[in-house]
Structure 1
């Protein structure tokens, strides 16, 4: 239909709202004058008017304004013709690109408007619009040759041009940190990772930085830590030479390391009593002396090594010491000592990649120059991971109390219930150090990338400065609102045997199929499955980590046809009563795909007591995974089943799958 529409004889646009001009005696005088004006305009284009041409409404209105420029004697705006500059129409009804008929319209980005005005002398008014296609193509040079450009400007245009240029100049001064008071606080935080008040506090606590360009010097260093950008790019950003920028970096690093770091990091800036004050409720209740006076309270710290990746070196002995067979890369290892609330007591090192965590700790406790034994006292508690197991006898020799996750017995497939429960108690306290490792890498991107070898001499200074900045300005980790409930659950279930796991092992249930019947999770059979709240899920898992993993397990099983749920046949339930006290129960078995190994399937078992409600209705549970026999908290495989049947399937809103867009990236066979 669009191909049959007439075209305006003046502007060649498709005529939608059209007028056809035929000079007759019936026309009003005003219309006849306008029509004659249009006929003259047609003649100026070397066309002969034959009474059959069409003119669009915009051309008619322009002719009307030309014939009657000021019909109501209203003072009109002064316009100025400037041939060196041009503009597009101030029209929001269509795309500003010539001939574009797209119905989508977007505002033109301000940086594009500034760029076209400064580089090409083309002004884009604020009301102009652009369609999706031209916005994505980013072909703004096409505007310069557009036939729709005009050269008339009025006072409103000049005011808008001045406002646009002022805003651009203001943004160009955004990195003038010597005048940080005039900068936007949000922009300061984006660049530096700290707000204006925190920036000023760092300057106050680093008096040797005082002097000319002290704010710029500190801002350059914080930007380096925050962004991890190369010195060449930072020099361009701060509009100085690379050598000058490196002098600023060295000055800031030396001043911060000499004055700011000792205030917030190291054994000398804090005492053992202050560390004991930072004990959280759960680790203090499980391993400390919760009811004792503060003077007698034991200090509880978490220790762990982290990694900073570095370049391969031509120094072969150094390369061998820094190559990790575990990570298959060259790296150095800073060693963190962290209190229960995430406060970094000290950072030691850096150590070689060939040193295990146990080796590093042994070096510290046998180093005569170390302040380790001066700071800690016998009876203090260290929460560690399995990598420290070789250091346990030496810690016991100095009367320190160390706790690590248990290791399964030789030949066993799983941890025993006692071992699994002890491991869960350790991980319930140890997660804090992983949070601090994440903060260091998340807030200071410099430590995410491979360090250049030429920068290794000051790498550890950078790391200690970053740790001291976290201590100074980051909020400490607080006790969970469920901390008391966690401790009560642990005390109640710590020595409870897992009778369901015994039943599964004794009857080799993982290999039986006949005693189970398959059923889907959306059937009415599960109408009596207890409805759970988010607080119930947190209490069942003794934390949020397993709950967060459930969405990923759910997403994978949803793609494979939801969960493979099986119900223990009613005629066989009497065999289960020999192991558990509850009578009115039913047993579920669910197969869960391992998130690490494609060929591994875990069997999760859950016993539901029909006589109880909410989380109390889940009477027993176990799983075939490593820690699946524990009675303190759920493993992630049991949790994902309880999460779906007890909470997710009851939600009215659709459950959002994590990273769902990534599923279509890899090409699969169909």
Structure 2
């Protein structure tokens, strides 16, 4: 499972037949399922009190829980890819319209430290087996006595794919925490919705890291043949049990968790003045009457990496900053200072996904601090942390501009490729007309 080697390679390494390899794998899998898995995975192997006391991060409790006796679980489905089947019915039911390929879906349930509480399934991948349907099936059928394990007021942190199961969770008394949706008429999340979503994502990321830990076992990162489908659930359970037994937690309680949670709560109502000012004075207009282009800001505060992390409340946005700034260095972004209001900066940044879309970012600063920010992207009204566009501008002006680097490790591999849209050959219209007539 760790190396993902085929039976043929294993038989060559150990100098035994493939049938002997198959028998050895079957015996080992059966032994691990009988001994290791029940002791280190499943709702029966651990109590709520143990999850609360040993496997719950203080930051998650401070952000989401009202008391210290609430268990917090994070749920998400992961994907194990398989080959197409000759059984057309199974092929249809295992084909995911989301990933556009056949797969099966185990449901992963972890604590806020990344401890695997349980693995359920695997399930089909068709439209009838989305994340919400799977969770409804688990709760309605009380799989692994989950209703006896979970107490009313416990918290389940989920993504938007579980939205259809929220009502059932509320009926059972389970508190569901999910990132907010934008209304159909909205182009941007409200500040309250954006901040509430940041509270959820600050906790929910651990299940993605747990899924990545599973895929480090190369057997499950491969596309599996269909004859392995009966054993996929066993292999996933074995790997999760081994991770619980031998690997350290993904995310542990830290000394500054309480301070970080307090900072996030304090920012719930901050920075609104800049958004209101931008909208009141219509500063999103393309008019340049009030703005002047600048290439350097000598009065922008110099920031350390610690201060940047405090502003962004995470590292994900900072990891993307160098890529966003590279667009500015390439000459596709502009920095503008307001002519009348000191310390008010406007930046237009290119979208990372859509070539025809860009976002306006506003920053208010003085010589020592970044005071406020606002961006026109979907999450740009967030005051708890920043969006990636705001983080990129602050990172560049506050720290990166003071270094001698110009590429920041972002390599343009396009220079090794040909571009069919560049330098089109000129065509003589008269020659073209003559050729058409001759034909």
SS in 1 for 2:343: strand
Unaligned runs of 5+ in 2: 424-439
Say which of 403, 413, 420 aligns to 1:662: 413
Q: Tell me, yes or no, if the aligned pair for 1:257 and 1:461 is still in contact at 8 Å.
A: yes
Shift of 1:497: 6.0
1:519 matched residue in structure 2: 294
Q: Tell me, yes or no, if the aligned pair for 1:308 and 1:447 is still in contact at 8 Å.
A: yes
Unaligned runs of 5+ in 1: 1-224, 574-584
Correspondence 1:308 to 2:60: no
Shift of 1:666: 2.5
**How well do the aligned residues superpose, as a CA RMSD in angstroms?**
1.7
Say which of 336, 339, 347 aligns to 1:569: 339
Correspondence 1:470 to 2:216: no
Correspondence 1:276 to 2:48: no
> Separation in 2 of the partners of 1:368 and 1:416?
37
> Separation in 1 of the partners of 2:256 and 2:412?
35
1:146 matched residue in structure 2: none
CA-to-aligned-CA distance 1:185-206 (integer Å, 9 cap, x gap): xxxxxxxxxxxxxxxxxxxxxx
1:551 matched residue in structure 2: 322
1:153 matched residue in structure 2: none
Correspondence 1:587 to 2:344: yes
> Separation in 2 of the partners of 1:498 and 1:400?
33
> Separation in 2 of the partners of 1:226 and 1:665?
35
Give matches, 1:575-654, under 5 Å: 585-610=342-367, 613=368, 617-651=369-403
Shift of 1:553: 1.6
Shift of 1:562: 7.1
Q: Tell me, yes or no, if the aligned pair for 2:41 and 2:117 is still in contact at 8 Å.
A: yes
Q: TM-score, normalised by structure 1?
A: 0.60
Give matches, 1:127-276, under 5 Å: 225-276=1-52
CA-to-aligned-CA distance 1:467-496 (integer Å, 9 cap, x gap): 111111111122345423321211211134
Q: Tell me, yes or no, if the aligned pair for 2:122 and 2:232 is still in contact at 8 Å.
A: no
Q: Tell me, yes or no, if the aligned pair for 2:271 and 2:372 is still in contact at 8 Å.
A: no
Distance 1:653 1:567, change over 3 A: closer
1:285 matched residue in structure 2: 62
2:435 matched residue in structure 1: none
Q: Tell me, yes or no, if the aligned pair for 2:332 and 2:350 is still in contact at 8 Å.
A: no
Q: Tell me, yes or no, if the aligned pair for 1:555 and 1:657 is still in contact at 8 Å.
A: no
Q: TM-score, normalised by structure 2?
A: 0.91
Shift of 1:661: 6.2
Shift of 1:507: 3.5
> Separation in 1 of the partners of 2:121 and 2:26?
21
SS in 1 for 2:121: strand
Q: Tell me, yes or no, if the aligned pair for 2:37 and 2:241 is still in contact at 8 Å.
A: yes
> Separation in 2 of the partners of 1:621 and 1:457?
53
Distance 1:661 1:519, change over 3 A: closer
1:322 matched residue in structure 2: 94
Q: Tell me, yes or no, if the aligned pair for 1:333 and 1:352 is still in contact at 8 Å.
A: yes
Correspondence 1:439 to 2:196: no
Correspondence 1:536 to 2:312: no
1:453 matched residue in structure 2: 226
> Separation in 1 of the partners of 2:238 and 2:293?
58
> Separation in 1 of the partners of 2:380 and 2:218?
37
> Separation in 2 of the partners of 1:388 and 1:557?
38
> Separation in 1 of the partners of 2:322 and 2:136?
41
Distance 1:598 1:655, change over 3 A: closer
Shift of 1:563: 4.3
SS in 1 for 2:344: strand
Correspondence 1:340 to 2:91: no
SS in 2 for 1:303: strand
CA-to-aligned-CA distance 1:86-131 (integer Å, 9 cap, x gap): xxxxxxxxxxxxxxxxxxxxxxxxxxxxxxxxxxxxxxxxxxxxxx
Number of aligned positions between the proteins: 416
Correspondence 1:387 to 2:138: no
Greater C-alpha radius of gyration = 1
Q: Tell me, yes or no, if the aligned pair for 2:78 and 2:107 is still in contact at 8 Å.
A: yes
CA-to-aligned-CA distance 1:167-218 (integer Å, 9 cap, x gap): xxxxxxxxxxxxxxxxxxxxxxxxxxxxxxxxxxxxxxxxxxxxxxxxxxxx
SS in 2 for 1:431: helix
> Separation in 2 of the partners of 1:264 and 1:249?
21
Worse-superposed segment, 317-326 or 478-487: 478-487
Distance 1:390 1:539, change over 3 A: same
> Separation in 2 of the partners of 1:406 and 1:381?
16
Q: Tell me, yes or no, if the aligned pair for 1:498 and 1:630 is still in contact at 8 Å.
A: no
Shift of 1:663: 3.7
CA-to-aligned-CA distance 1:532-581 (integer Å, 9 cap, x gap): 111111111111111111122223433x23741111122xx3xxxxxxxx
SS in 1 for 2:284: helix
Shift of 1:387: 0.8
